[in-house]
Structure 1
Amino acid sequence: MRNSAKITAALLAAGALTLGLTACGSGNDGASSSAGHDGPLVVAASPTPHAEILNYVKDHLAKKAGLDLEVKEFTDYVTPNTATEDGSVDANYFQNQPYLDDFNTKRGTHIVPVVTVHLEPLGLYSHKVKETDALKSGATVAVPNDTVNEARALKLLAANGLITLKAGVGSEATPRDISENPRNLTFKEVEAAQTPRSLDDVDAAVVNGNYAISAGLEPAKDALVLESAKNNPYGNFLAVKEGNEKDPRVVKLAGLLTSPEVRKFIEDTYQGSVIPSF
């Protein structure tokens, strides 16, 4: 997962740019990967569902709107932001506001949201039980190890009565902030992308929606418990480096990503496992 990326066939064929696929590769003073605002808009995205949604836009909507769009896939949660910061890509689409706030603070980056597109409900999954009541005392639950998603996972468990968190804990909650653990659950912290793979080794795992879908899980059907979409702060958005919000290409893409056509594509394709946020 570390610094991994796969270049789309279209990008290879075009030979439009050469990227140093490192998490912190800088050295171009934040210059855009495409000269000025005239070249193709290169967007970094998680494969599912972000790149799938972007590729729908590319194949069905972009040409008519006069947008030259290139999609670059990454499987980690670091490189899309660092590549956007250093100008290796023009924008990214993979994250939510609490994650971005934490990332900018810790990494000194200057990434800002442009438009929120969808929500991927976080879910608790298991290969060993079919309902939360069947989780035995001392069961092991895998949770994402990044700050925001771990807190989000613990809040999901708390909302469903499995644990109680200390009053006032926010987006940095860890297992140390659990005040009541009636089932004496044990928590295994793993990289978010590895949580689906951990299901054979633990009793249950809290999995981000995109990784669940990539692993063949159907959140709307397979999750033991699932986040509510109501008043949910974890909508995923298109993001750019600060100062690039009004790039005409970015404005065009923002409009397309929140179009009726994209809403229908999301609803038809993901059947409630990904929810439009517009």
Structure 2
Amino acid sequence: MFASSSLSRRSVLALLGGLSTLGVSRAETSATTSKAIRVGIMSGEDEDIWRIVTANAAQNGLMVKVTTFSDYNAPDEALAEHELDANAFQHGPFLQGQSAAHGFHITPVGNTYFSPIGLYSQRWKTVGELPQNATIGVPNDPSNEGRALKLLQSLNVLKVSDSAGLLPTALDITDNPRNITIRELDAGVVGRALPDLDAAIVNTDWARKSGIDIEKQRIGREEIKNNPYVCFIAVNEEDARAAWVATLVNAFHQPNVRKAIIDIYRGANVPAWS
């Protein structure tokens, strides 16, 4: 899911070294706990982020134990089964789908970062240049395909039915003045197929892995404002008001974590808290 770059050991240590100057409040001593809070994340670059978050939390008396996953379905299941106290890997539409399918009672408690998707082209320099009968590739999983079509709608390429909510498919296109053909491809394939397409919507991490020049070949991008795809820390609903939750979120919402997100992801992900 993430770009294949991470902080050097020196960089991580430098960020951790800034802990002595953190403005982390110690007023709520009830937030401390004798056991470690168990947080599930995806393996990869997020591990570097959470090393810093863990150190921040320890400064305020909260011990955090991180568990990594490679299967995106597993962290919510583990949270619902109370094998975890929190997880941090998903956005709203993904959680909505998981909750509807499995009856989870999981709720967001604090934003982490935003991973914008982009519209890329090797043939055209702007969205306005996309010709009649162009072919645009999109990821074929429900969450990302819906997101891709919503991006095309925001760029005035086509329109989809409001009744489709956040999960429209090509069948929900209601207005297509350029007669665009939507080609549904696996999320890991759509970026590599760009030479054979007029354009493609690709998650930024897959765009980098596919060798796409993010800045030069991107002709459209999601905006973060009012975007439902912002990622967050989530807990079981029954724990939402627990004192440790605010401490955990505060440990993430720190300047050294903001800097780490910018450095590690090189623009693929951006901090999503003010």
TM over 0.5: yes
Alignment of 1:177 onto 2:172: yes
Residue 39 of structure 2 corresponds to: 43
CA distance in 2, matches of 1:273, 1:109: 29
Residue 16 of structure 1 corresponds to: none
What's the TM-score once normalised by structure 2's chain length?
0.72
* Closer, same or farther: CA 74–211 of 1 in aligned 2, 3 Å: farther
Higher RCO (Cα < 8 Å, 6 or more apart): 2
Which one of 138, 141, 144 corresponds to residue 146 of structure 1? 141
CA distance in 1, matches of 2:73, 2:190: 17
Q: Is the 8 A contact 1:76 1:193 kept in 2?
A: no
Matches within 5 A, 1:202-217: 202-212=197-207
CA distance in 1, matches of 2:210, 2:44: 10
Residue 7 of structure 1 corresponds to: none
* Closer, same or farther: CA 211–258 of 1 in aligned 2, 3 Å: farther
Q: Is the 8 A contact 2:45 2:264 kept in 1?
A: no
* TM-aligned CA deviation for residue 157 of structure 1: 0.7
Q: Deviations over 1:121-163 (max 9, x none)?
A: 1211245554435545444333233333322210101111222
CA distance in 2, matches of 1:257, 1:173: 33
* Closer, same or farther: CA 92–179 of 1 in aligned 2, 3 Å: same
Residue 49 of structure 2 corresponds to: 53
CA distance in 1, matches of 2:151, 2:138: 11
**SS of 1:239 mapped into structure 2:** strand
CA distance in 1, matches of 2:131, 2:220: 16
Q: Is the 8 A contact 1:126 1:199 kept in 2?
A: yes
Which one of 98, 117, 121 corresponds to residue 122 of structure 1? 117
CA distance in 1, matches of 2:169, 2:61: 46
CA distance in 2, matches of 1:54, 1:178: 40
Alignment of 1:97 onto 2:102: no
Please tell me the root mean square deviation across aligned C-alpha atoms, in Å.
Answer: 3.2
Residue 272 of structure 2 corresponds to: 277
Q: Is the 8 A contact 1:126 1:205 kept in 2?
A: yes
Q: Letter of the aligned partner of 1:237 in structure 2?
A: F
CA distance in 2, matches of 1:171, 1:95: 15
**SS of 1:243 mapped into structure 2:** helix
CA distance in 1, matches of 2:246, 2:109: 8
* Sequence identity percentage: 37
Residue 236 of structure 1 corresponds to: 231
Q: Deviations over 1:225-246 (max 9, x none)?
A: 1011222222110012222334
Q: Is the 8 A contact 1:209 1:273 kept in 2?
A: yes
What's the TM-score once normalised by structure 1's chain length?
0.71
Unaligned runs of 5+ residues in structure 1 are 2-36
Residue 105 of structure 2 corresponds to: 110
CA distance in 1, matches of 2:45, 2:135: 28
Residue 150 of structure 2 corresponds to: 155
CA distance in 2, matches of 1:45, 1:215: 24
CA distance in 2, matches of 1:83, 1:129: 45
How many pairs were matched up?
242
Q: Letter of the aligned partner of 2:84 in structure 1?
A: V
**SS of 1:61 mapped into structure 2:** helix
Q: Is the 8 A contact 1:48 1:210 kept in 2?
A: no
Q: Deviations over 1:68-110 (max 9, x none)?
A: 3343443443222222222343322121223212221122222
CA distance in 2, matches of 1:197, 1:70: 37
Q: Letter of the aligned partner of 2:167 in structure 1?
A: E
